[in-house]
C-alpha cells in the first residue's frame, strides 16, 4: 500500500468516527425529558393525597377529620415511645386513630399502585411518632410538604415522599 493510499484510508476512518460521534451527540441532545410529566403527576398526587387525607372524616371519633385528630395529637405527651394525654376515641386515642387511618389510605392508594412511599410529621414529639412507610426510599423521589396550624405559635408539618 502506497503512502497516499494509507493517508486516504486514515482520513476515511477519522471521518467515520466523527460521523458516529456527531450522530450520538444529536441523539443525546434531542432526547426529550419523558420523566417530566410523570414527575409533575407524582408531585400533584402527593399534594392531593395530603389535602384529601386531612379532610377525611374519621369513623369512631365523633366525625372528627384527620386534621382535627392530628391537632389533638400534637399537644399530647410521649412516654417510653407511647402517647399519653391524647383524647380517647372508640378504638384507642386520636394519635392511634390518625396513624391507622393514614396507613389504610396510603395502603389503598400508593400501596395498590406499587409505589414506595414515606410519610412523616414534624413539629412535636407526639406527632413525630406517626410514621408510615413502604419499601426503600433512598433514591430519586417526588413529594409534598404541608404545614398545619395546631394553635397560634404551634405548627406541624406533614411530608409525603413518593419514591422510585
Partner 1 sequence: MRGQVKMFETVGVLVVFFFLLGIGSLFYFGAQRTSLAREQVVAAEQQAFQIVLKALYLPELDCSFLVTQKDNCIDKLKMEQLAKLMAQNDNAKQDYFAQFGFAKITVGQKYPVSDESELVLYSNVPSEIRTVGGVEREVESFTSRLVTQSPILLYDAIRDEYGFGVIEVSVYV
- The contact set with partner 1 (CB under 8 A) reads 12, 15-16, 19-20, 23, 26-27, 30-32, 34, 36-38, 40-41, 44-45, 48-49, 51-53, 55-57, 59, 63, 65, 101, 104-105, 108-109, 113
Least distance between partner 1 and beta carbon 152 (Å) = 24
What are 124's three cell numbers?
412535636
57: helix, strand or coil: strand
Identity of the residue, 95 or 162, whose beta carbon is nearer to partner 1 in the bound complex: 162
d(CA 25, CA 151) in angstroms, rounded, equals 57
Q: Grid cell 396510603 — which residue?
A: 106
Identity of the residue, 44 or 157, whose beta carbon is nearer to partner 1 in the bound complex: 44
Least distance between partner 1 and beta carbon 123 (Å) = 23
Least distance between partner 1 and beta carbon 76 (Å) = 23
Identity of the residue, 10 or 77, whose beta carbon is nearer to partner 1 in the bound complex: 10
Beta strands in the chain (DSSP E): 77-79, 82-84, 88-89, 92-93, 116-122, 131-134, 141-151, 154-163
Contact of 29 with 58, CB cutoff 8 Å: no
Amino acid at each position: 500500500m502506497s503512502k497516499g493510499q494509507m493517508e486516504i484510508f486514515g482520513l476515511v476512518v477519522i471521518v467515520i468516527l466523527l460521523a458516529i460521534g456527531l450522530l450520538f451527540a444529536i441523539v443525546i441532545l434531542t432526547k426529550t425529558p419523558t420523566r417530566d410529566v410523570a414527575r409533575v403527576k407524582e408531585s400533584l398526587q402527593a399534594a392531593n393525597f395530603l389535602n384529601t387525607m386531612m379532610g377525611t372524616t374519621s369513623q369512631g371519633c365523633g366525625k372528627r377529620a384527620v386534621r382535627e385528630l392530628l391537632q389533638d395529637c400534637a399537644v399530647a405527651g410521649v412516654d417510653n415511645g407511647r402517647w399519653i394525654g391524647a383524647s380517647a376515641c372508640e378504638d384507642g386515642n386520636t394519635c392511634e386513630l390518625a396513624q391507622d387511618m393514614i396507613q389504610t389510605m396510603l395502603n389503598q392508594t400508593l400501596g395498590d399502585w406499587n409505589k414506595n412511599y414515606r410519610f412523616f410529621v414534624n413539629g412535636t414529639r407526639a406527632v413525630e411518632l406517626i410514621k408510615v412507610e413502604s419499601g426503600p426510599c433512598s433514591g430519586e423521589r417526588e413529594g409534598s410538604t404541608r404545614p398545619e396550624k395546631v394553635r397560634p405559635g404551634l405548627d406541624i408539618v406533614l411530608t409525603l415522599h413518593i419514591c422510585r
